[in-house]
Structure 1
Amino acid sequence: MPAVLNPFTKRESYPAQSVLTYKILTIISWLVMVIPTIYYTFNAPHDDNKHWRDTIWGHNISTPFAMNSVITSIYWIVLFIMQIGYVWHLFSGNLDYVTAAAGVGSHFILSNLLLFAFVMLFVRGHSIWGEIILIINFFNLSSLYFRHTTLPSFIHIPVVSGPLAWNFVALYWNGAIAVNATGLAARILANVAIWAILAYGFFFLVTYKDYTMGFALSILTASIGVKQFFIKIIAFQWIFAFVIMGLLFLATLAIAVPGLFGKEISFRREGQVVPTDQERAPLLDEH
Protein backbone atom coordinates (compact mmCIF):
# COMPACT_ATOMS: atom_id res chain seq x y z
CA MET A 1 0.00 0.00 0.00
CA PRO A 2 1.44 3.43 -0.88
CA ALA A 3 2.62 5.34 2.17
CA VAL A 4 0.25 8.21 1.45
CA LEU A 5 -2.72 5.79 1.68
CA ASN A 6 -1.48 3.83 4.69
CA PRO A 7 -2.73 5.45 7.93
CA PHE A 8 -0.16 3.47 9.96
CA THR A 9 2.87 4.85 8.10
CA LYS A 10 5.21 6.95 10.24
CA ARG A 11 5.56 10.52 8.99
CA GLU A 12 7.70 13.48 9.96
CA SER A 13 4.78 15.89 9.62
CA TYR A 14 1.02 15.89 9.05
CA PRO A 15 -1.05 18.34 6.99
CA ALA A 16 -3.75 20.30 8.78
CA GLN A 17 -6.52 18.22 7.21
CA SER A 18 -4.99 14.97 8.49
CA VAL A 19 -4.62 16.41 12.00
CA LEU A 20 -8.27 17.52 11.93
CA THR A 21 -9.31 14.02 10.86
CA TYR A 22 -7.29 12.51 13.73
CA LYS A 23 -8.89 14.91 16.19
CA ILE A 24 -12.41 13.94 15.14
CA LEU A 25 -11.86 10.17 14.82
CA THR A 26 -9.80 9.96 18.01
CA ILE A 27 -12.49 11.65 20.11
CA ILE A 28 -15.30 9.61 18.53
CA SER A 29 -13.48 6.27 18.89
CA TRP A 30 -12.52 7.06 22.48
CA LEU A 31 -16.11 7.87 23.43
CA VAL A 32 -17.34 4.75 21.58
CA MET A 33 -15.00 2.66 23.72
CA VAL A 34 -15.33 4.43 27.08
CA ILE A 35 -19.11 4.93 27.30
CA PRO A 36 -20.10 1.26 26.78
CA THR A 37 -17.25 0.15 29.06
CA ILE A 38 -18.56 2.29 31.91
CA TYR A 39 -22.18 1.36 31.19
CA TYR A 40 -21.55 -2.38 31.12
CA THR A 41 -19.50 -2.20 34.29
CA PHE A 42 -22.78 -1.60 36.12
CA ASN A 43 -25.42 -2.90 33.70
CA ALA A 44 -25.99 -6.12 31.78
CA PRO A 45 -27.13 -6.04 28.12
CA HIS A 46 -30.90 -5.91 27.66
CA ASP A 47 -31.08 -6.60 23.94
CA ASP A 48 -32.53 -10.03 24.75
CA ASN A 49 -33.08 -12.32 27.71
CA LYS A 50 -30.27 -14.79 27.16
CA HIS A 51 -29.03 -16.12 30.48
CA TRP A 52 -25.37 -15.57 29.67
CA ARG A 53 -25.74 -11.78 29.41
CA ASP A 54 -24.10 -10.04 32.36
CA THR A 55 -21.99 -7.05 33.42
CA ILE A 56 -18.25 -7.02 32.75
CA TRP A 57 -17.43 -8.11 36.29
CA GLY A 58 -20.39 -10.46 36.36
CA HIS A 59 -18.46 -12.57 33.84
CA ASN A 60 -15.36 -12.51 36.04
CA ILE A 61 -15.85 -16.13 37.11
CA SER A 62 -13.47 -17.95 39.46
CA THR A 63 -10.79 -18.96 36.98
CA PRO A 64 -7.04 -18.96 37.83
CA PHE A 65 -6.71 -15.59 36.07
CA ALA A 66 -9.76 -13.85 37.51
CA MET A 67 -8.88 -10.27 38.50
CA ASN A 68 -9.94 -8.00 41.33
CA SER A 69 -12.60 -5.64 39.98
CA VAL A 70 -11.59 -2.65 42.13
CA ILE A 71 -7.88 -2.68 41.26
CA THR A 72 -8.48 -3.28 37.56
CA SER A 73 -11.22 -0.64 37.39
CA ILE A 74 -8.94 1.95 39.01
CA TYR A 75 -6.23 0.99 36.52
CA TRP A 76 -8.58 1.78 33.62
CA ILE A 77 -9.96 4.95 35.20
CA VAL A 78 -6.41 6.30 35.42
CA LEU A 79 -5.79 5.27 31.79
CA PHE A 80 -8.99 7.00 30.67
CA ILE A 81 -7.95 10.22 32.40
CA MET A 82 -4.45 10.05 30.91
CA GLN A 83 -5.95 9.39 27.47
CA ILE A 84 -7.84 12.66 27.76
CA GLY A 85 -4.44 14.28 28.20
CA TYR A 86 -3.20 12.51 25.08
CA VAL A 87 -6.18 13.75 23.05
CA TRP A 88 -5.56 17.27 24.32
CA HIS A 89 -2.09 17.21 22.77
CA LEU A 90 -3.67 16.87 19.33
CA PHE A 91 -4.98 20.38 19.95
CA SER A 92 -1.66 21.70 21.29
CA GLY A 93 0.01 24.76 19.84
CA ASN A 94 3.32 22.85 19.97
CA LEU A 95 3.85 21.30 16.53
CA ASP A 96 6.13 18.58 17.95
CA TYR A 97 3.43 17.45 20.36
CA VAL A 98 0.80 17.42 17.62
CA THR A 99 3.08 15.40 15.32
CA ALA A 100 3.89 12.87 18.05
CA ALA A 101 0.22 12.50 18.99
CA ALA A 102 -0.94 12.15 15.38
CA GLY A 103 1.80 9.59 14.71
CA VAL A 104 0.11 7.01 16.93
CA GLY A 105 -3.45 8.11 16.16
CA SER A 106 -4.33 5.32 13.73
CA HIS A 107 -3.24 2.59 16.17
CA PHE A 108 -5.10 4.30 19.02
CA ILE A 109 -8.30 4.61 17.00
CA LEU A 110 -8.10 0.96 15.93
CA SER A 111 -7.43 -0.13 19.52
CA ASN A 112 -10.47 1.79 20.75
CA LEU A 113 -12.72 0.17 18.15
CA LEU A 114 -11.36 -3.30 18.94
CA LEU A 115 -11.85 -2.78 22.68
CA PHE A 116 -15.41 -1.63 22.00
CA ALA A 117 -16.00 -4.83 20.02
CA PHE A 118 -14.46 -6.89 22.82
CA VAL A 119 -16.70 -5.35 25.49
CA MET A 120 -19.83 -5.84 23.37
CA LEU A 121 -18.94 -9.50 22.80
CA PHE A 122 -17.71 -10.18 26.34
CA VAL A 123 -20.80 -8.98 28.19
CA ARG A 124 -22.92 -11.13 25.88
CA GLY A 125 -20.96 -14.24 26.75
CA HIS A 126 -19.02 -14.51 23.48
CA SER A 127 -15.62 -14.92 25.12
CA ILE A 128 -14.10 -16.96 22.28
CA TRP A 129 -14.82 -14.21 19.77
CA GLY A 130 -13.61 -11.75 22.37
CA GLU A 131 -10.32 -13.62 22.57
CA ILE A 132 -9.89 -13.27 18.80
CA ILE A 133 -10.45 -9.52 19.14
CA LEU A 134 -7.86 -9.35 21.94
CA ILE A 135 -5.33 -11.23 19.79
CA ILE A 136 -5.85 -8.78 16.93
CA ASN A 137 -5.43 -5.83 19.27
CA PHE A 138 -2.35 -7.42 20.82
CA PHE A 139 -0.69 -7.37 17.40
CA ASN A 140 -1.94 -3.83 16.79
CA LEU A 141 -0.53 -2.53 20.08
CA SER A 142 2.69 -4.54 19.74
CA SER A 143 3.22 -3.05 16.28
CA LEU A 144 2.63 0.40 17.76
CA TYR A 145 5.13 -0.26 20.54
CA PHE A 146 7.96 -1.53 18.38
CA ARG A 147 7.47 1.08 15.65
CA HIS A 148 7.37 4.02 18.07
CA THR A 149 10.01 3.39 20.73
CA THR A 150 10.85 7.00 21.58
CA LEU A 151 7.49 8.53 22.39
CA PRO A 152 7.16 11.09 25.19
CA SER A 153 5.62 9.63 28.33
CA PHE A 154 2.34 11.55 28.05
CA ILE A 155 1.66 9.52 24.89
CA HIS A 156 3.50 6.29 25.65
CA ILE A 157 1.72 5.46 28.92
CA PRO A 158 -1.97 6.03 28.01
CA VAL A 159 -1.75 4.93 24.37
CA VAL A 160 0.95 2.25 24.29
CA SER A 161 2.25 0.63 27.48
CA GLY A 162 -0.91 0.88 29.61
CA PRO A 163 -3.29 -0.69 27.06
CA LEU A 164 -0.66 -3.22 25.87
CA ALA A 165 0.02 -4.47 29.41
CA TRP A 166 -3.70 -4.92 30.04
CA ASN A 167 -4.27 -6.58 26.68
CA PHE A 168 -1.54 -9.13 27.40
CA VAL A 169 -2.99 -10.04 30.80
CA ALA A 170 -6.53 -9.97 29.37
CA LEU A 171 -5.57 -12.73 26.93
CA TYR A 172 -5.18 -14.99 29.96
CA TRP A 173 -8.15 -13.54 31.84
CA ASN A 174 -10.63 -13.83 28.98
CA GLY A 175 -9.08 -17.04 27.63
CA ALA A 176 -9.61 -18.77 30.97
CA ILE A 177 -13.22 -17.61 30.99
CA ALA A 178 -13.74 -18.78 27.40
CA VAL A 179 -12.73 -22.36 28.23
CA ASN A 180 -14.30 -22.30 31.71
CA ALA A 181 -10.94 -23.08 33.32
CA THR A 182 -12.10 -23.80 36.84
CA GLY A 183 -10.91 -27.37 37.37
CA LEU A 184 -7.76 -28.74 38.98
CA ALA A 185 -5.97 -29.40 35.66
CA ALA A 186 -6.61 -25.82 34.55
CA ARG A 187 -5.22 -24.45 37.81
CA ILE A 188 -2.06 -26.54 37.52
CA LEU A 189 -1.54 -25.26 33.97
CA ALA A 190 -2.23 -21.71 35.14
CA ASN A 191 0.45 -22.07 37.86
CA VAL A 192 2.96 -22.39 35.01
CA ALA A 193 1.38 -19.96 32.54
CA ILE A 194 1.29 -17.05 34.97
CA TRP A 195 5.09 -16.82 34.89
CA ALA A 196 4.83 -15.60 31.29
CA ILE A 197 3.75 -12.25 32.75
CA LEU A 198 7.09 -12.00 34.53
CA ALA A 199 9.02 -12.94 31.37
CA TYR A 200 7.00 -10.44 29.31
CA GLY A 201 7.63 -7.64 31.78
CA PHE A 202 11.34 -8.40 32.08
CA PHE A 203 11.67 -8.29 28.29
CA PHE A 204 10.58 -4.64 28.23
CA LEU A 205 12.53 -3.73 31.34
CA VAL A 206 15.78 -5.21 30.05
CA THR A 207 15.45 -4.42 26.35
CA TYR A 208 13.84 -0.98 26.47
CA LYS A 209 14.34 0.06 30.10
CA ASP A 210 10.60 0.66 30.04
CA TYR A 211 9.59 0.98 33.67
CA THR A 212 6.03 1.92 32.64
CA MET A 213 5.42 -1.62 31.36
CA GLY A 214 6.92 -3.09 34.52
CA PHE A 215 4.74 -0.93 36.74
CA ALA A 216 1.56 -1.62 34.73
CA LEU A 217 2.12 -5.38 34.74
CA SER A 218 2.87 -5.38 38.47
CA ILE A 219 -0.48 -3.67 39.16
CA LEU A 220 -2.38 -6.12 37.00
CA THR A 221 -0.59 -9.08 38.57
CA ALA A 222 -1.50 -7.72 41.99
CA SER A 223 -5.11 -7.64 40.80
CA ILE A 224 -4.87 -11.34 39.94
CA GLY A 225 -3.20 -12.10 43.26
CA VAL A 226 -5.85 -10.38 45.37
CA LYS A 227 -8.71 -12.08 43.54
CA GLN A 228 -7.05 -15.51 43.69
CA PHE A 229 -6.48 -15.15 47.43
CA PHE A 230 -10.20 -14.69 48.03
CA ILE A 231 -11.09 -17.49 45.61
CA LYS A 232 -8.88 -20.09 47.25
CA ILE A 233 -6.54 -19.30 50.14
CA ILE A 234 -4.73 -22.64 50.05
CA ALA A 235 -3.38 -22.44 46.49
CA PHE A 236 -0.22 -21.53 44.59
CA GLN A 237 -1.75 -19.07 42.11
CA TRP A 238 -2.09 -16.08 44.44
CA ILE A 239 1.36 -16.76 45.90
CA PHE A 240 2.91 -16.86 42.43
CA ALA A 241 1.03 -13.71 41.46
CA PHE A 242 2.39 -11.75 44.43
CA VAL A 243 5.91 -13.08 43.84
CA ILE A 244 5.71 -11.95 40.21
CA MET A 245 4.30 -8.61 41.27
CA GLY A 246 7.15 -8.11 43.75
CA LEU A 247 9.86 -9.07 41.25
CA LEU A 248 8.40 -6.79 38.58
CA PHE A 249 8.04 -3.91 41.01
CA LEU A 250 11.61 -4.24 42.30
CA ALA A 251 12.98 -4.49 38.77
CA THR A 252 10.90 -1.46 37.82
CA LEU A 253 12.40 0.53 40.69
CA ALA A 254 15.87 -0.57 39.58
CA ILE A 255 15.20 0.97 36.18
CA ALA A 256 13.16 3.99 37.26
CA VAL A 257 15.24 5.25 40.18
CA PRO A 258 18.65 6.59 39.09
CA GLY A 259 21.53 5.32 41.14
CA LEU A 260 19.50 2.67 42.96
CA PHE A 261 22.22 0.08 42.33
CA GLY A 262 25.10 2.49 42.03
CA LYS A 263 24.74 3.06 38.30
CA GLU A 264 23.38 6.26 36.88
CA ILE A 265 20.55 5.73 34.43
CA SER A 266 19.46 8.77 32.44
CA PHE A 267 15.88 9.23 31.36
CA ARG A 268 14.22 11.58 28.92
CA ARG A 269 12.56 14.55 30.56
CA GLU A 270 8.80 14.61 30.91
CA GLY A 271 7.20 15.66 27.65
CA GLN A 272 10.44 15.68 25.65
CA VAL A 273 9.97 14.70 22.01
CA VAL A 274 12.93 12.88 20.51
CA PRO A 275 13.96 13.93 16.99
CA THR A 276 13.20 11.52 14.17
CA ASP A 277 16.83 10.52 13.73
CA GLN A 278 16.79 9.06 17.27
CA GLU A 279 13.80 6.78 16.61
CA ARG A 280 15.95 3.69 17.13
CA ALA A 281 17.03 4.65 20.65
CA PRO A 282 15.55 2.56 23.49
CA LEU A 283 12.45 3.99 25.10
CA LEU A 284 13.05 6.56 27.82
CA ASP A 285 16.81 6.10 27.65
CA GLU A 286 18.98 8.78 26.09
CA HIS A 287 22.23 8.02 24.32
Structure 2
Amino acid sequence: MERVHHINPFARRDSHTKDTVLTVVTWLLSIFVSVYYTFNKPHDGAWHGRKIWHQNDAHDTAFRMNHIIASVYWIILFFLQGGYIVHLFSRDVERVNAACSVGSHFIVNNLFHFAFVMLFVRSYFGWAELFLVLNFVNLSSLYFRHPRYARFIHTPAVSGPLAWTFVAIYWNGALMVPHPGSLVARIFGNIFIWSILVYGLFFIVAYKDYTMGFNLSVLSAAIGVGQFLRQVIAFQWIFAFIIMAILFVATVIVAVPAATGRDFGYIRAREGDAERAPLLT
Protein backbone atom coordinates (compact mmCIF):
# COMPACT_ATOMS: atom_id res chain seq x y z
CA MET A 1 0.00 0.00 0.00
CA GLU A 2 2.86 2.36 0.72
CA ARG A 3 4.19 1.89 -2.80
CA VAL A 4 0.76 2.65 -4.27
CA HIS A 5 0.62 5.79 -2.11
CA HIS A 6 3.89 7.02 -3.57
CA ILE A 7 2.80 6.33 -7.16
CA ASN A 8 -0.69 7.84 -6.82
CA PRO A 9 -0.50 11.53 -7.88
CA PHE A 10 -3.68 12.35 -5.88
CA ALA A 11 -2.25 11.07 -2.58
CA ARG A 12 -1.44 13.57 0.14
CA ARG A 13 2.27 13.90 0.93
CA ASP A 14 4.69 16.32 2.53
CA SER A 15 7.10 16.38 -0.41
CA HIS A 16 6.01 17.41 -3.92
CA THR A 17 9.13 16.16 -5.69
CA LYS A 18 7.47 13.21 -7.42
CA ASP A 19 4.44 15.30 -8.37
CA THR A 20 6.80 17.79 -10.00
CA VAL A 21 8.52 15.09 -12.05
CA LEU A 22 5.18 13.65 -13.21
CA THR A 23 3.92 17.13 -14.05
CA VAL A 24 6.91 17.93 -16.26
CA VAL A 25 6.99 14.51 -17.96
CA THR A 26 3.27 14.41 -18.76
CA TRP A 27 3.31 18.03 -19.95
CA LEU A 28 6.17 17.28 -22.36
CA LEU A 29 4.27 14.18 -23.52
CA SER A 30 1.18 16.29 -24.19
CA ILE A 31 3.21 18.79 -26.21
CA PHE A 32 5.00 16.07 -28.17
CA VAL A 33 1.87 14.29 -29.42
CA SER A 34 0.17 17.61 -30.23
CA VAL A 35 3.09 18.88 -32.29
CA TYR A 36 3.96 15.53 -33.88
CA TYR A 37 0.42 14.79 -35.11
CA THR A 38 -0.02 18.35 -36.31
CA PHE A 39 2.60 17.62 -38.97
CA ASN A 40 2.44 13.81 -39.24
CA LYS A 41 -0.28 11.22 -39.57
CA PRO A 42 -0.16 7.86 -37.75
CA HIS A 43 2.18 5.32 -39.34
CA ASP A 44 0.99 2.22 -37.47
CA GLY A 45 -1.10 0.78 -40.29
CA ALA A 46 -4.28 2.75 -39.53
CA TRP A 47 -5.66 3.37 -43.02
CA HIS A 48 -8.09 5.97 -41.66
CA GLY A 49 -5.43 7.90 -39.75
CA ARG A 50 -4.95 11.61 -40.46
CA LYS A 51 -3.13 14.60 -39.06
CA ILE A 52 -5.02 16.56 -36.39
CA TRP A 53 -6.16 19.37 -38.65
CA HIS A 54 -6.67 17.06 -41.62
CA GLN A 55 -9.31 15.33 -39.50
CA ASN A 56 -10.86 18.73 -38.90
CA ASP A 57 -10.87 19.72 -42.58
CA ALA A 58 -11.85 16.33 -44.00
CA HIS A 59 -15.28 16.35 -42.35
CA ASP A 60 -17.97 18.93 -43.00
CA THR A 61 -19.38 19.44 -39.49
CA ALA A 62 -21.09 22.31 -37.68
CA PHE A 63 -18.12 22.64 -35.30
CA ARG A 64 -15.23 22.57 -37.75
CA MET A 65 -12.63 25.11 -36.58
CA ASN A 66 -10.13 27.37 -38.23
CA HIS A 67 -6.88 25.54 -37.55
CA ILE A 68 -4.76 28.72 -37.39
CA ILE A 69 -6.75 30.30 -34.56
CA ALA A 70 -7.02 26.99 -32.69
CA SER A 71 -3.29 26.33 -33.10
CA VAL A 72 -2.40 29.79 -31.77
CA TYR A 73 -4.68 29.08 -28.79
CA TRP A 74 -2.72 25.91 -28.01
CA ILE A 75 0.69 27.50 -28.57
CA ILE A 76 -0.14 30.25 -26.06
CA LEU A 77 -1.64 27.71 -23.65
CA PHE A 78 1.47 25.52 -23.74
CA PHE A 79 3.62 28.62 -23.20
CA LEU A 80 1.55 29.63 -20.17
CA GLN A 81 1.73 26.08 -18.83
CA GLY A 82 5.50 26.34 -19.05
CA GLY A 83 5.28 29.43 -16.84
CA TYR A 84 3.11 27.50 -14.40
CA ILE A 85 5.65 24.66 -14.25
CA VAL A 86 8.47 27.13 -13.55
CA HIS A 87 6.65 28.06 -10.33
CA LEU A 88 7.04 24.46 -9.17
CA PHE A 89 10.76 25.19 -8.80
CA SER A 90 10.32 28.56 -7.09
CA ARG A 91 12.08 29.32 -3.80
CA ASP A 92 8.82 30.80 -2.53
CA VAL A 93 7.22 27.97 -0.53
CA GLU A 94 3.72 29.44 -0.87
CA ARG A 95 4.02 29.59 -4.67
CA VAL A 96 5.29 26.02 -4.80
CA ASN A 97 2.48 24.72 -2.60
CA ALA A 98 -0.13 26.64 -4.59
CA ALA A 99 1.19 25.28 -7.88
CA CYS A 100 1.44 21.72 -6.53
CA SER A 101 -2.09 21.82 -5.14
CA VAL A 102 -3.49 21.53 -8.68
CA GLY A 103 -0.70 19.26 -9.92
CA SER A 104 -2.59 15.96 -9.70
CA HIS A 105 -5.44 17.24 -11.89
CA PHE A 106 -2.95 18.82 -14.29
CA ILE A 107 -1.16 15.47 -14.64
CA VAL A 108 -4.44 13.69 -15.38
CA ASN A 109 -5.35 16.42 -17.90
CA ASN A 110 -2.09 15.84 -19.75
CA LEU A 111 -2.60 12.07 -19.83
CA PHE A 112 -6.19 12.40 -21.04
CA HIS A 113 -5.10 14.90 -23.71
CA PHE A 114 -2.42 12.44 -24.85
CA ALA A 115 -5.02 9.65 -25.09
CA PHE A 116 -7.48 11.91 -26.93
CA VAL A 117 -4.94 12.93 -29.59
CA MET A 118 -3.78 9.34 -30.14
CA LEU A 119 -7.39 8.21 -30.68
CA PHE A 120 -8.55 11.28 -32.61
CA VAL A 121 -5.90 11.08 -35.33
CA ARG A 122 -6.79 7.40 -35.81
CA SER A 123 -10.51 8.25 -36.23
CA TYR A 124 -11.59 6.47 -33.04
CA PHE A 125 -13.95 9.34 -32.28
CA GLY A 126 -16.14 7.41 -29.84
CA TRP A 127 -13.22 6.52 -27.58
CA ALA A 128 -11.78 10.01 -28.03
CA GLU A 129 -15.10 11.46 -26.83
CA LEU A 130 -14.93 9.28 -23.72
CA PHE A 131 -11.55 10.74 -22.74
CA LEU A 132 -12.80 14.27 -23.40
CA VAL A 133 -15.76 13.71 -21.09
CA LEU A 134 -13.53 12.19 -18.41
CA ASN A 135 -11.17 15.14 -18.68
CA PHE A 136 -14.11 17.54 -18.48
CA VAL A 137 -15.11 15.91 -15.18
CA ASN A 138 -11.49 16.07 -13.97
CA LEU A 139 -11.05 19.77 -14.84
CA SER A 140 -14.51 20.76 -13.60
CA SER A 141 -13.72 19.14 -10.26
CA LEU A 142 -10.46 21.08 -10.16
CA TYR A 143 -12.21 24.35 -11.04
CA PHE A 144 -14.88 24.13 -8.37
CA ARG A 145 -12.35 23.09 -5.74
CA HIS A 146 -9.96 25.96 -6.57
CA PRO A 147 -11.94 28.67 -8.43
CA ARG A 148 -9.92 31.67 -7.21
CA TYR A 149 -6.28 30.72 -7.47
CA ALA A 150 -3.70 33.15 -8.81
CA ARG A 151 -3.89 33.67 -12.57
CA PHE A 152 -0.48 32.09 -13.17
CA ILE A 153 -2.07 28.83 -11.94
CA HIS A 154 -5.69 29.29 -12.91
CA THR A 155 -5.29 30.18 -16.59
CA PRO A 156 -2.79 27.52 -17.78
CA ALA A 157 -3.83 24.65 -15.50
CA VAL A 158 -7.57 25.20 -15.07
CA SER A 159 -9.52 27.59 -17.30
CA GLY A 160 -7.47 27.18 -20.50
CA PRO A 161 -7.71 23.36 -20.68
CA LEU A 162 -11.32 23.38 -19.39
CA ALA A 163 -12.53 25.82 -22.07
CA TRP A 164 -10.87 23.76 -24.80
CA THR A 165 -12.25 20.47 -23.45
CA PHE A 166 -15.79 21.83 -23.33
CA VAL A 167 -15.65 22.99 -26.96
CA ALA A 168 -13.76 19.87 -28.08
CA ILE A 169 -16.60 17.67 -26.80
CA TYR A 170 -18.79 19.23 -29.51
CA TRP A 171 -15.96 19.36 -32.05
CA ASN A 172 -15.18 15.66 -31.73
CA GLY A 173 -18.79 14.72 -31.03
CA ALA A 174 -19.85 16.17 -34.38
CA LEU A 175 -17.36 13.84 -36.06
CA MET A 176 -18.65 10.88 -34.10
CA VAL A 177 -22.28 10.99 -35.30
CA PRO A 178 -23.35 9.38 -38.59
CA HIS A 179 -23.54 11.77 -41.55
CA PRO A 180 -21.97 14.75 -39.71
CA GLY A 181 -22.60 17.09 -42.64
CA SER A 182 -26.30 16.34 -42.98
CA LEU A 183 -29.03 18.94 -42.53
CA VAL A 184 -30.19 17.34 -39.26
CA ALA A 185 -26.67 17.38 -37.83
CA ARG A 186 -26.23 21.03 -38.76
CA ILE A 187 -29.57 21.99 -37.17
CA PHE A 188 -28.49 20.35 -33.93
CA GLY A 189 -25.18 22.16 -34.30
CA ASN A 190 -27.03 25.48 -34.63
CA ILE A 191 -28.72 24.71 -31.30
CA PHE A 192 -25.83 23.28 -29.30
CA ILE A 193 -23.41 26.07 -30.17
CA TRP A 194 -25.38 28.40 -27.87
CA SER A 195 -24.31 26.27 -24.91
CA ILE A 196 -20.86 27.86 -25.31
CA LEU A 197 -22.42 31.24 -24.55
CA VAL A 198 -24.37 29.93 -21.56
CA TYR A 199 -21.32 28.11 -20.22
CA GLY A 200 -19.07 31.15 -20.56
CA LEU A 201 -21.58 33.57 -19.02
CA PHE A 202 -22.00 31.23 -16.05
CA PHE A 203 -18.33 31.59 -15.10
CA ILE A 204 -18.27 35.31 -15.85
CA VAL A 205 -21.33 36.02 -13.69
CA ALA A 206 -20.82 33.47 -10.91
CA TYR A 207 -17.03 33.70 -10.53
CA LYS A 208 -16.13 36.91 -12.41
CA ASP A 209 -13.72 34.69 -14.34
CA TYR A 210 -12.73 36.74 -17.36
CA THR A 211 -10.18 34.07 -18.40
CA MET A 212 -12.95 31.58 -19.18
CA GLY A 213 -14.86 34.24 -21.09
CA PHE A 214 -11.83 35.17 -23.16
CA ASN A 215 -10.84 31.55 -23.85
CA LEU A 216 -14.32 30.62 -25.03
CA SER A 217 -14.58 33.76 -27.16
CA VAL A 218 -11.35 32.79 -28.97
CA LEU A 219 -12.59 29.25 -29.57
CA SER A 220 -15.93 30.63 -30.79
CA ALA A 221 -13.97 32.79 -33.24
CA ALA A 222 -12.15 29.65 -34.44
CA ILE A 223 -15.51 27.99 -35.13
CA GLY A 224 -16.90 31.13 -36.77
CA VAL A 225 -13.99 31.54 -39.18
CA GLY A 226 -13.95 27.81 -39.96
CA GLN A 227 -17.67 27.83 -40.76
CA PHE A 228 -17.49 31.06 -42.79
CA LEU A 229 -14.73 29.67 -45.01
CA ARG A 230 -16.79 26.52 -45.49
CA GLN A 231 -20.04 28.24 -46.52
CA VAL A 232 -20.73 31.97 -46.56
CA ILE A 233 -24.52 31.59 -46.49
CA ALA A 234 -25.10 29.70 -43.23
CA PHE A 235 -26.31 30.34 -39.69
CA GLN A 236 -23.48 28.63 -37.82
CA TRP A 237 -20.75 31.19 -38.42
CA ILE A 238 -23.18 34.04 -37.63
CA PHE A 239 -24.10 32.38 -34.33
CA ALA A 240 -20.43 31.75 -33.53
CA PHE A 241 -19.47 35.39 -34.07
CA ILE A 242 -22.44 36.61 -31.99
CA ILE A 243 -21.34 34.32 -29.16
CA MET A 244 -17.76 35.52 -29.53
CA ALA A 245 -18.83 39.18 -29.36
CA ILE A 246 -21.07 38.74 -26.31
CA LEU A 247 -18.43 36.77 -24.40
CA PHE A 248 -15.72 39.26 -25.31
CA VAL A 249 -17.77 42.26 -24.15
CA ALA A 250 -18.72 40.48 -20.92
CA THR A 251 -15.07 39.59 -20.42
CA VAL A 252 -13.97 43.21 -20.79
CA ILE A 253 -16.67 44.36 -18.36
CA VAL A 254 -15.27 42.00 -15.73
CA ALA A 255 -11.58 42.26 -16.60
CA VAL A 256 -11.26 46.07 -16.51
CA PRO A 257 -12.41 46.44 -12.87
CA ALA A 258 -10.13 43.55 -11.89
CA ALA A 259 -7.16 45.19 -13.61
CA THR A 260 -7.85 48.54 -11.91
CA GLY A 261 -8.27 47.02 -8.46
CA ARG A 262 -12.04 47.47 -8.30
CA ASP A 263 -12.99 43.79 -8.31
CA PHE A 264 -15.13 44.13 -5.21
CA GLY A 265 -16.69 40.69 -5.54
CA TYR A 266 -13.31 39.05 -5.39
CA ILE A 267 -12.25 41.20 -2.41
CA ARG A 268 -15.37 40.25 -0.49
CA ALA A 269 -14.67 36.58 -1.15
CA ARG A 270 -11.11 36.94 0.14
CA GLU A 271 -12.34 38.81 3.23
CA GLY A 272 -14.84 36.04 3.88
CA ASP A 273 -12.05 33.46 3.70
CA ALA A 274 -9.98 35.54 6.12
CA GLU A 275 -12.86 35.65 8.62
CA ARG A 276 -13.18 31.88 8.54
CA ALA A 277 -9.44 31.27 8.82
CA PRO A 278 -9.20 31.50 12.68
CA LEU A 279 -12.02 28.98 13.04
CA LEU A 280 -10.23 26.57 10.72
CA THR A 281 -6.99 27.08 12.66
TM superposition score normalised by structure 2:
0.89
- Report if aligned partners of 2:204, 2:250 keep a CA contact under 8 Å in 1: yes
Per-residue deviation at 1:127? 0.7
Alignment RMSD (CA, Å): 2.6
- Alignment-derived partner of residue 146 in structure 1: 144
- Summarize deviations over 1:159-183 as a string: whole Å, max 9, x none: 0000000000000000001114111
- Alignment-derived partner of residue 57 in structure 1: 53
Match of 2:81 among 69, 83, 108: 83
- Report if aligned partners of 1:149, 1:279 keep a CA contact under 8 Å in 2: no
- Report if aligned partners of 1:150, 1:279 keep a CA contact under 8 Å in 2: no
1:30 equivalent in alignment to 2:23: no
- Report if aligned partners of 2:200, 2:247 keep a CA contact under 8 Å in 1: yes
- Summarize deviations over 1:123-154 as a string: whole Å, max 9, x none: 01101100000000000000000001221000
- Alignment CA distance shift 1:82-1:150 (3 Å): same
Partners of 2:96 and 2:86 in 1: CA distance: 9
**Alignment length (residue pairs):** 266
- Alignment-derived partner of residue 118 in structure 1: 116
Segments of 5+ residues of structure 1 without an aligned counterpart are 281-287
Structure with greater helix percent: 2
Segments of 5+ residues of structure 2 without an aligned counterpart are 277-281
Aligned pairs for 1:1-287 within 5 A: 7-8=9-10, 15=14, 18-48=15-45, 50-60=46-56, 61-179=59-177, 180-258=179-257, 264-266=262-264, 277=273
- Summarize deviations over 1:15-65 as a string: whole Å, max 9, x none: 2xx3111111001111111101100001000011x3310000011022000
- Alignment CA distance shift 1:116-1:275 (3 Å): farther
Partners of 1:20 and 1:182 in 2: CA distance: 49
- Summarize deviations over 1:202-257 as a string: whole Å, max 9, x none: 00000000000000000000000000001111000000000000000000011111
- Alignment CA distance shift 1:52-1:193 (3 Å): same
- Alignment-derived partner of residue 284 in structure 1: none
Q: Which amino acid in 1 is paired with 2:76?
A: V
Per-residue deviation at 1:259? 9.2
- Alignment CA distance shift 1:89-1:275 (3 Å): farther
Partners of 2:71 and 2:115 in 1: CA distance: 18
